Structure 1
Amino acid sequence: MKKKIDGLKQAVEMLQGLDLSAQQSVIAEIARRDPEMAIKLKKNLVTFDDLQYLTVSMMKRLLQDVELDVLGLALRGASKEVTDHLMGMFSTGMKRDIDDIFKGKPRPLNDVMAAQNKIMEVVLKLIEKKEIILSKDKSERMV
């Protein structure tokens, strides 16, 4: 009896192994050829924008493995929603530290993408260990 392979799951796992810019390039190419498949992949792919679904306790766990300067740099490339959500979780002192990097002198886009990649590596490991859960379903309450 042949084992059934979930192609979508396999594709998502392969995309997760790429850095963010490569993921975006591959998905853009797939969208050009098969827009519906690109949408399915995006729904199943954990992205930096998904950090807006972190709770305060999950963020505390993430910050055990991510330095504030890396987070501040990564937020330069984040959406306003993600930035506002994450910044809303921090104390005044932490906000000030992150803001210093977030609003500091210009940095190369490659540095920002590298910071996001570093954070996403940690996020994926924590998801795998079930230490954090990113639920895009707002009706699902996390406790």
Structure 2
Amino acid sequence: MNKKIDGLKQAIEMLQGLDLAAQQSLIAEIARKDPEMAIKLKQNLVTFDDLKYLTVAMMKRLLQDIDLDVLGLALRGASKEVTDHLLNMFSTNMKRDVEDYLKGKPRPLSEVLEAQKKIMDVVIRLRDKGEIVLSKDKSERYV
């Protein structure tokens, strides 16, 4: 049986198993040897930073599968842009709850990265099922 292997897909799946710093480091190394491949990987790789492209409806769908405490912990390692974008979608009470998790006692970076990975696993599953779209094309509107 001659089965074709999709190398790009395999590379993306491997990268998604790494934390953000390791992803960026590996893509930078790939870019030195094959800039075109690095661009393809970046275009297809979903990162925690891509949550800034979620709409309110998509965020509601995501929250059906994740707990607020996991989200609050994950946001400790997120950019201000992502954190602000997500917090601005929440009701006052929900926003307060997430902010409480953000301001809680210090937690190990490994816990923050694990929370981000849990969220991204759900995001990728929902994206693959077509339930959410992470489009970097700001001219495209999703309804």
| TM-score relative to the length of structure 1 | 0.87
Instruction: Quote the offset at 1:8 in angstroms.
Output: 2.8
Once structures 1 and 2 are overlaid, which stretch shifts more, 21-30 or 75-84?
21-30
Deviating above 4 A after TM superposition, structure 1's stretches of 4 or more consecutive aligned residues are 2-6
Query: In the alignment, which residue of structure 1 is the partner of 2:46?
Result: 46
Long gaps (5+) in structure 2 = none
What is the identity percentage for the equivalent residue pairs of Structure 1 and Structure 2?
Answer: 77
Q: Which amino acid aligns with 2:110?
A: N
Query: In the alignment, which residue of structure 1 is the partner of 2:97?
Result: 97
Q: Which amino acid aligns with 1:19?
A: L
CA distance in 1 between counterparts of 2:18 and 2:13 reads 12
Query: In the alignment, which residue of structure 2 is the partner of 1:82?
Result: 82
Long gaps (5+) in structure 1 = none
Matched, 1:19 2:21: no
Instruction: Quote the offset at 1:5 in angstroms.
Output: 5.6
Query: In the alignment, which residue of structure 2 is the partner of 1:58?
Result: 58
Backbone CA RMSD of aligned residues? 2.0
Instruction: Quote the offset at 1:34 in angstroms.
Output: 3.6
> Secondary structure of 1:137's match?
coil
Once structures 1 and 2 are overlaid, which stretch shifts more, 34-43 or 61-70?
34-43
